[in-house]
Protein backbone atom coordinates (compact mmCIF):
# COMPACT_ATOMS: atom_id res chain seq x y z
CA UNK A 1 0.00 0.00 0.00
CA UNK A 2 1.16 3.51 -0.77
CA UNK A 3 0.16 5.24 2.46
CA UNK A 4 1.59 8.78 2.63
CA UNK A 5 3.71 8.26 -0.48
CA UNK A 6 4.06 11.38 -2.56
CA UNK A 7 4.73 11.61 -6.26
CA UNK A 8 4.65 9.30 -9.23
CA UNK A 9 7.17 6.55 -9.84
CA UNK A 10 7.15 6.94 -13.65
CA UNK A 11 7.85 3.19 -13.92
CA UNK A 12 11.46 3.75 -12.89
CA UNK A 13 13.67 2.96 -9.94
CA UNK A 14 14.61 5.81 -7.62
CA UNK A 15 18.03 6.54 -9.14
CA UNK A 16 16.69 6.47 -12.69
CA UNK A 17 13.79 8.72 -11.71
CA UNK A 18 16.11 11.24 -10.04
CA UNK A 19 18.40 11.25 -13.07
CA UNK A 20 15.41 11.81 -15.37
CA UNK A 21 14.20 14.74 -13.27
CA UNK A 22 17.63 16.35 -13.18
CA UNK A 23 18.09 16.04 -16.94
CA UNK A 24 14.59 17.33 -17.68
CA UNK A 25 15.00 20.21 -15.22
CA UNK A 26 18.29 21.19 -16.87
CA UNK A 27 16.72 21.08 -20.32
CA UNK A 28 13.71 23.09 -19.18
CA UNK A 29 15.91 25.74 -17.61
CA UNK A 30 18.20 25.94 -20.65
CA UNK A 31 15.46 26.05 -23.30
CA UNK A 32 12.66 27.54 -21.13
CA UNK A 33 10.20 25.16 -22.82
CA UNK A 34 10.10 21.40 -23.42
CA UNK A 35 7.62 18.94 -24.86
CA UNK A 36 7.08 15.79 -22.81
CA UNK A 37 4.34 13.52 -21.53
CA UNK A 38 1.72 15.05 -19.28
CA UNK A 39 2.67 12.91 -16.28
CA UNK A 40 6.37 13.76 -16.53
CA UNK A 41 5.48 17.46 -16.80
CA UNK A 42 3.34 17.23 -13.67
CA UNK A 43 6.17 15.55 -11.75
CA UNK A 44 8.77 18.01 -13.09
CA UNK A 45 6.83 21.16 -12.22
CA UNK A 46 7.27 21.19 -8.41
CA UNK A 47 10.90 20.05 -8.75
CA UNK A 48 11.81 23.00 -11.00
CA UNK A 49 9.77 25.53 -9.04
CA UNK A 50 11.59 24.57 -5.83
CA UNK A 51 14.93 25.05 -7.60
CA UNK A 52 13.94 28.52 -8.83
CA UNK A 53 12.63 29.51 -5.40
CA UNK A 54 15.87 28.34 -3.80
CA UNK A 55 17.86 30.33 -6.39
CA UNK A 56 15.98 33.51 -5.51
CA UNK A 57 17.97 33.77 -2.26
CA UNK A 58 21.19 34.12 -4.28
CA UNK A 59 23.48 33.22 -1.38
CA UNK A 60 26.26 30.65 -1.36
CA UNK A 61 24.07 27.92 0.09
CA UNK A 62 21.47 28.25 -2.67
CA UNK A 63 24.16 28.23 -5.37
CA UNK A 64 25.61 25.02 -3.95
CA UNK A 65 22.12 23.55 -3.61
CA UNK A 66 21.49 24.20 -7.31
CA UNK A 67 24.88 22.70 -8.15
CA UNK A 68 23.73 19.40 -6.62
CA UNK A 69 20.96 19.08 -9.18
CA UNK A 70 22.07 21.03 -12.27
CA UNK A 71 25.08 21.29 -14.53
CA UNK A 72 27.04 24.54 -14.57
CA UNK A 73 25.35 26.13 -17.60
CA UNK A 74 21.88 25.30 -16.30
CA UNK A 75 22.80 26.52 -12.81
CA UNK A 76 23.88 29.92 -14.13
CA UNK A 77 20.72 30.20 -16.21
CA UNK A 78 18.61 29.18 -13.17
CA UNK A 79 20.10 32.04 -11.18
CA UNK A 80 19.19 34.45 -14.01
CA UNK A 81 15.65 33.04 -14.06
CA UNK A 82 15.46 33.48 -10.30
CA UNK A 83 16.28 37.17 -10.76
CA UNK A 84 13.51 37.43 -13.34
CA UNK A 85 10.98 36.04 -10.86
CA UNK A 86 12.28 37.99 -7.84
CA UNK A 87 8.90 39.66 -7.19
CA UNK A 88 6.76 36.63 -8.05
CA UNK A 89 5.73 34.48 -5.06
CA UNK A 90 5.51 31.23 -7.06
CA UNK A 91 3.94 29.66 -10.12
CA UNK A 92 6.89 30.06 -12.47
CA UNK A 93 5.83 27.34 -14.90
CA UNK A 94 2.73 26.39 -16.85
CA UNK A 95 1.65 23.13 -18.46
CA UNK A 96 -0.19 23.26 -21.78
CA UNK A 97 -1.88 20.00 -22.74
CA UNK A 98 -1.49 18.99 -26.40
CA UNK A 99 -3.44 15.79 -26.88
CA UNK A 100 -2.33 12.27 -27.63
CA UNK A 101 0.92 11.16 -29.26
CA UNK A 102 0.27 9.37 -32.54
CA UNK A 103 2.40 6.25 -32.13
CA UNK A 104 1.47 5.13 -28.60
CA UNK A 105 -1.39 7.37 -27.52
CA UNK A 106 0.48 8.98 -24.61
CA UNK A 107 -0.91 12.30 -23.41
CA UNK A 108 1.54 15.05 -24.40
CA UNK A 109 2.12 18.46 -22.87
CA UNK A 110 4.42 21.46 -23.08
CA UNK A 111 5.91 22.76 -19.86
CA UNK A 112 7.31 26.28 -20.05
CA UNK A 113 8.26 29.22 -17.89
CA UNK A 114 5.76 32.03 -17.52
CA UNK A 115 6.98 35.28 -19.07
Contact 69, 51 (CB under 8 A): yes
Instruction: Report the candidate in 115, 111, 113, 103 with the shortest Cα–Cα distance to residue 21.
Output: 111
* Residue-level pLDDT at 5: 87
Residue ranges of the chain with pLDDT lower than 70?
none
Class of domain 14-113 as given by CATH: alpha beta
* Residue-level pLDDT at 77: 97
* Residue-level pLDDT at 7: 86
* Residue-level pLDDT at 90: 95
- Give the SS3 label for residue 96: strand
Domain boundaries, the chain: 14-113
* Residue-level pLDDT at 76: 96
* Residue-level pLDDT at 19: 98
Eight-state DSSP code of residue 3:
T
* Residue-level pLDDT at 43: 98
Contact 109, 38 (CB under 8 A): yes
* Residue-level pLDDT at 71: 96
Instruction: Report the candidate in 26, 21, 111, 16 with the shortest Cα–Cα distance to residue 70.
Output: 26
Amino acid sequence: MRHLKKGKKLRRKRDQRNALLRIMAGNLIMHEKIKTTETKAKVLRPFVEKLITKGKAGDLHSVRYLARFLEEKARKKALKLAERYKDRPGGYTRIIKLGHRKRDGAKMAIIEFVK
